[in-house]
């Protein structure tokens, strides 16, 4: 009796039509690559259930541009970090991190590392945010660039409006680093490069090197460099192929009228003040180029964020 009932139920079941079978085969054979067009969402076109089941990707070229730009930024950050860590390794800082707190003046390596950290962080946030379509990371990336942009703008405006204050701060900065000239090889190389490039000596003149214990002219100093200046203050001799690092010894024991024969007598602050007007177009061009790159990055990030938000709003996520 049970067998007869089962046979009756089998014959009574609804038979799938040929049309339903064809639709089923089409669903199985069609690859799952359906993607909702963002333009359709903005035009409030209806979205099918099959489309609603998938999170669509935003515009490919836009993501590719962000990924390419941020990858380069991240790579540059890695290079800066590598150079900074290598420099600290050469100075033995990595083996004894307490040396960082004992440094006098400014350590150029710290600036390199800070730039590297900022560039790597921004590049990482932008890459991952674009790749995973993560709005939080993209907003962090965009907000950080906006903050940096306005900080640069504020610094430029304040430096123009308060030139005397900036000059005094730079003098204090230069003099504090003159005192630490022999304490840090990187700081020493930085000052030497600045003096050679601008053909200057000291903040406002060679007398500023009295601030350093090694070059001080007082009787309490027993240094061989007493009453001298660093070799980077010396007027280069075209006939000499090897740099004479002792050319500044005892120079300031001579009469001031003879200083010009062997060393630069112009201070580095007046030299930089004269260099800026002569190269104002180059400086302005560099700042404009950096600003345009930042604005372009902000535009890409904001556009991608808007697209993702539009897609999610249309899909009720």
User: What percent of the chain has a predicted confidence (pLDDT) above 90?
Assistant: 25
The residue with tokens 């010396």 is: 234
pLDDT of residue 230: 94
Mean pLDDT, to the nearest integer, of 236-245?
84
Which residue range is the domain that position 248 belongs to? Answer: 206-265
Spatial distance between the Cα atoms of 70 and 234, rounded to a whole number of angstroms? 44
Please check whether residues 40 and 75 belong to one and the same domain: no
CB atoms within 10 A of CB 307: 20
pLDDT band at 239 (very low <50, low <70, confident <90, very high): confident
Compare 65 and 275 and report the one with higher pLDDT. 275
- Record the tokens describing residue 8, joined without a space: 């009756």
Please check whether residues 146 and 283 belong to one and the same domain: yes
Compare 42 and 83 and report the one with higher pLDDT. 83
Question: Is the pLDDT assigned to residue 85 strictly greater than 90?
Answer: no
Please check whether residues 64 and 139 belong to one and the same domain: yes
Least confident of 84-98, 220-234, 243-257: 84-98
- Record the tokens describing residue 238, joined without a space: 């075209």
Question: Is the pLDDT assigned to residue 26 strictly greater than 50?
Answer: no
Please check whether residues 259 and 304 belong to one and the same domain: no
All residues at 6 or more sequence positions from 163 whose CB lies less than 8 Å from its CB, including other chains: none
pLDDT of residue 182: 86
- Domain membership flag for residue 192: no
Question: Is the pLDDT assigned to residue 310 strictly greater than 90?
Answer: no
172 SS3 class: helix
pLDDT, tens digit (0-9, with 9 covering 90-100), for 144-165: 999 999 999 998 898 889 988 8
Question: Is the pLDDT assigned to residue 88 strictly greater than 90?
Answer: no
CA torsion, points 74, 78, 80, 86, in degrees to nearest 10? 180
Please check whether residues 157 and 284 belong to one and the same domain: yes
Please check whether residues 43 and 82 belong to one and the same domain: no
pLDDT, tens digit (0-9, with 9 covering 90-100), for 69-84: 888 888 888 998 888 8
Final residue of a structural domain among 36, 52, 68: 52
Please check whether residues 91 and 41 belong to one and the same domain: no
Spatial distance between the Cα atoms of 66 and 237, rounded to a whole number of angstroms? 51
How many domains in the chain?
A: 3
Spatial distance between the Cα atoms of 112 and 104, rounded to a whole number of angstroms? 17
Q: Are 109 and 87 in contact (CB under 8 A)?
A: yes
Question: Is the pLDDT assigned to residue 234 strictly greater than 90?
Answer: yes
Please check whether residues 25 and 81 belong to one and the same domain: no
Mean pLDDT, to the nearest integer, of 272-280?
87
pLDDT of residue 38: 42
Spatial distance between the Cα atoms of 51 and 223, rounded to a whole number of angstroms? 81
The residue with tokens 């302005």 is: 284
- Domain membership flag for residue 157: yes
Q: Are 77 and 116 in contact (CB under 8 A)?
A: yes
Read out DSSP for 193-249? HHHHHHT--SSSSGGGGGGSTTT--STT---TTTT---GGGBPP-TT-SS--TTTTT
- Domain membership flag for residue 46: yes
Mean pLDDT, to the nearest integer, of 242-246?
86
- Domain membership flag for residue 93: yes
Please check whether residues 47 and 72 belong to one and the same domain: no
Model confidence, pTM: 0.65
pLDDT of residue 224: 85
pLDDT band at 104 (very low <50, low <70, confident <90, very high): low
Please check whether residues 91 and 110 belong to one and the same domain: yes
Question: Is the pLDDT assigned to residue 271 strictly greater than 80?
Answer: yes
- Record the tokens describing residue 296, joined without a space: 């372009």
pLDDT of residue 249: 92
β-strand partners of 263 = 234
- Record the tokens describing residue 260, joined without a space: 């010009």
pLDDT band at 14 (very low <50, low <70, confident <90, very high): low
The residue with tokens 């002219």 is: 217
């Amino acid at each position: 009796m049970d067998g007869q009932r089962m046979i009756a139920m089998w014959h009574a079941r609804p038979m799938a039509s040929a049309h339903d079978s064809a639709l089923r085969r089409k669903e199985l054979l069609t690859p799952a690559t359906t993607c909702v067009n963002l333009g359709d969402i903005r035009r409030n076109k209806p979205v099918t259930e099959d489309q609603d089941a998938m999170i669509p990707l935003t515009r490919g070229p836009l993501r590719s541009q962000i990924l390419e730009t941020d990858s380069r930024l991240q790579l540059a950050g890695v290079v800066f970090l590598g150079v900074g860590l290598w420099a600290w390794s050469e100075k033995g800082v990595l083996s004894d991190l307490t040396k960082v707190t004992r440094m006098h003046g400014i350590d150029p390596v710290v600036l390199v590392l800070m730039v590297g950290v900022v560039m790597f962080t921004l590049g990482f946030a932008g890459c991952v945010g674009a790749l995973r379509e993560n709005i939080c990371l993209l907003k962090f990336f965009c907000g950080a660039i906006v903050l940096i942009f306005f900080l640069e703008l504020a610094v430029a405006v304040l430096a123009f409006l308060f030139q005397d204050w900036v000059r005094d701060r730079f003098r204090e900065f230069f003099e504090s680093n003159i005192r630490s000239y022999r304490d840090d090889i990187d700081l020493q190389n930085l000052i030497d490069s600045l003096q050679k490039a601008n053909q200057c000596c000291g903040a406002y003149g060679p007398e500023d090197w009295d601030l350093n214990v090694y070059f001080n002219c007082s009787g309490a100093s027993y240094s061989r460099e007493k009453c001298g200046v660093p070799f980077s203050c010396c007027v280069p001799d075209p006939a000499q192929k090897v740099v004479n690092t002792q050319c500044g010894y005892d120079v300031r024991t001579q009469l001031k009228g003879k200083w010009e024969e062997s060393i630069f007598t112009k201070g580095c602050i007046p030299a930089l003040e004269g260099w800026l007007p002569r190269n104002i177009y180059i400086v302005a061009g560099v700042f404009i180029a950096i600003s345009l790159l930042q604005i372009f990055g902000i535009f890409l990030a904001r556009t991608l964020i808007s697209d993702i938000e539009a897609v999610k709003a249309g899909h009720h996520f």
